[in-house]
Structures are given as C-alpha cells and as structure tokens.
Amino acid sequence: RRDVLVLTPWLAPIVWEGTFNRDILNAQYMQKNLVTGVVTFAVKKYWFFIEGFISSVNKYFLAGHQVNFYLFTDNPEQISHLQMAPENHLFVIPVQNHSQWQDIFMNRMDIISRYIHSQFQYEVDYLYSIDIDVQLLEHIGVEIIDTLVGTISSWQYTTRRESKSYERRTESQAAIPKGEGDFYYTASFYGGSVAEVYKLTRACFKGVMKDRENGIEARWHDESHLNKYLLYHKPTRLLSPEYYWDEEL
C-alpha cells in the first residue's frame, strides 16, 4: 500500500487491506491461547439491529477463534433464537433503559469498566467495544488484536486537524487544544487488552462525570472523551476506516 499511511509517527501500524498476512497472524495468535470479547449495547429501538449484528459477527469476526459476545440490552427476549458458531459464546446482560438515548452512550463507558472489573477480566484477554448498528461485510481477523486499538473514523480521515470534530471548549474534560490531534477515532469500534480498555473506559467516564457536574456535554459524547484519551495514550495499533465504514458516505 503506497497510497495510504501504514505507520503512525509513533510507529504503531495502521491496518489496511494489503498490509498484513492473516495466516502469519493467526499462527501467532493461536500460539498464545487467547480469548477475545466483544461488548455491544442494544437499548430501546436498537433491539432492531441485534439479529443482523449477531449473525454477521458470528460469521465474520475472528472466525475460527473463541469469541465471547457480551450483549447489553433492555430487550433480552429478542435474542432467544440466535445460533452461535461452536467456538463463540453469547452472553445477554439485561440493562435498564434511561430517559435520553445519549445517557446510554455516556454510561456505556461506566458499564464496560464495571463489568471488566467484576467479570470480563476473568473471561477474556482482549476486549472490543463495537456499535450494534454495524454489519460486518468481510472477515475481521486477528490483525485487530493489540494492546490499545483505535479505529480511524471514515468521516474524518481526509480532513485537516482544525475541522475535526474534537471537543474544543476548554470547560469540557474532553477538550483538545487547537494545533493538537493525530487522528479522529470513532467510538463505534475500539478495544485492546482488558487492562487497557479498563483504564480507557474509567478515564473517559471520569471525564463524562466531571463534565456533568460542570453542566456541559461533549460535542460527540463519549467519542470526544475517547479522542482525548487516545491523544495522550496513543494506540499501539490503528484500524483504517475499512474497519468501520459509514454507509452514508
């Protein structure tokens, strides 16, 4: 790939089709006997996406490797008939719904960190948070596995830093000063080792809480906080926009 950046200035690889050999990576992954988890939320009307999401990730996400899917939903009855591949497990975790849809998204970080602490850390090595309104169209494999992984947002990758959707108001904990910023990462797909995702979600939620106390809400909610975190705790691997492409583009 000569047309795109495949390495960040801090030498983290940026994963694009053509940059990796999945067979080599699979061999390395299998040697280590790892388990990867996926956490996703389907609250209120988003129950509609459950079937599409689960069937596509079951088929295309780390196919052939053990994956634990953790589905947080206020509609647990929607999933009774879903069949999982033999190496995959689906865990349905009921949640309470809140008044505004933003609240769920803001509380995702808190929910994830609490469940990592109480449960996930004992069950998986790597954990990825993926939005429910996503359908995998191609295989996503072990090339995504690394200590701290962010995905470059498809909406933002051609724009200059100044026009990126970073939170700019200094009153917010998620504020990124002008002249700073590497990439714009999407909150729809991020992850890493269970320890690093714990730190990330804790830090982001702390920022969310502080903002709430100060009566401010970040421009793009938890995504703004994620971007602030990943600026100063640079990811060890980036996924190109191939890994989360918004159909509206």
Partner 1 sequence: PTPSCSSMKLQYTEEKLIQLFPQLFYQQPRVLAPKRRDVLTVTPWLAPIVWEGTFNAEILDSAYRPLNLTIGVTAFAVGKYTRFVGRFLESAEKHFMKGYQVNYYIFTDNPETIPDIQLQPGRRFVAVPIKKYSSWQEISMRRMEAINKHIAERSHREVDYLFCLDIDMVFYSAWGPETLADTVAAIHPGYFKVPRSQFPYERRSSSAAYIPDGEGDFYYGGAVFGGLVKKVYEFTKTCHMTILTDKANGIMAAWQEESHLNRHFLSHKPSKVLSPEYLWDDRKPRPPEIHLIRFSTVDKNYREIRN
Tell me which residues in 22-81 interact with partner 1 (CB under 8 A): 24-25, 28, 32
232 binding partner 1? (CB under 8 A): yes
| Residue closer to partner 1 (CB basis): 179 or 215 | 179
Active site residue 223: yes
- How far, rounded to the nearest angstrom, does the alpha carbon of residue 211 sit from its chain's CA centroid? 22
User: Among 73, 129, 172, 193, which residue interacts with partner 1 (rule: CB under 8 A)?
Assistant: 193
How many residues in the chain? 249
Least Cα distance to 57 among 118, 122, 144, 121 occurs for 144
Q: Is 127 exposed, middle or buried (0-12, 13-18, 19+ CB in 10 A)?
A: buried
Rounded to whole angstroms, how far apart are CA atoms 82 and 116?
25
Beta bridge partners of 13: 7
Candidate segments 4-12, 45-53, 64-72, 100-108, binder of partner 1 by CB under 8 A: 4-12
The 146-175 contact track toward partner 1, x by CB under 8 A, reads xxx---x----xx-xx--------------
Nearer to partner 1, 21 or 99 (CB): 21
Question: Which whole-number Å values give the CA distances from 12 to 7, 47, 136, 146, in the listed order?
Answer: 6, 36, 24, 10
Residue 245 identity: W
Size of the site for partner 1 (CB under 8 A): 54
9 binds partner 1 (CB under 8 A): yes
Starting at the earlier edge strand, list the strands of the sheet with 67-73. 14-15, 237-239, 148-152, 185-193, 126-130, 36-42, 67-73, 88-94
- Choosing from 17, 223, 247, 248, the catalytic residue is 223
Task: Give 64 or 94: the residue with its C-beta nearer to partner 1.
Answer: 64
CB of 189 to partner 1, least distance (A): 16
Query: Alpha-carbon Rg of the chain, whole angstroms?
Result: 18
- Site residues (CB under 8 A) for partner 1, limited to 99-118: 117
Q: Is the Cβ–Cβ distance between 219 and 165 less than 8 Å?
A: yes
- Tell me whether residue 56 or residue 121 sits nearer to partner 1 (CB atom): 121
* List of residues contacting partner 1 (CB under 8 A): 2-15, 19-21, 24-25, 28, 32, 117, 121-122, 125, 143, 146-148, 152, 157-158, 160-161, 177, 179-183, 193-196, 198-199, 202, 231-234, 236-237, 240
Give the annotated binding-site residues: 41-43, 46, 131-133, 223, 246
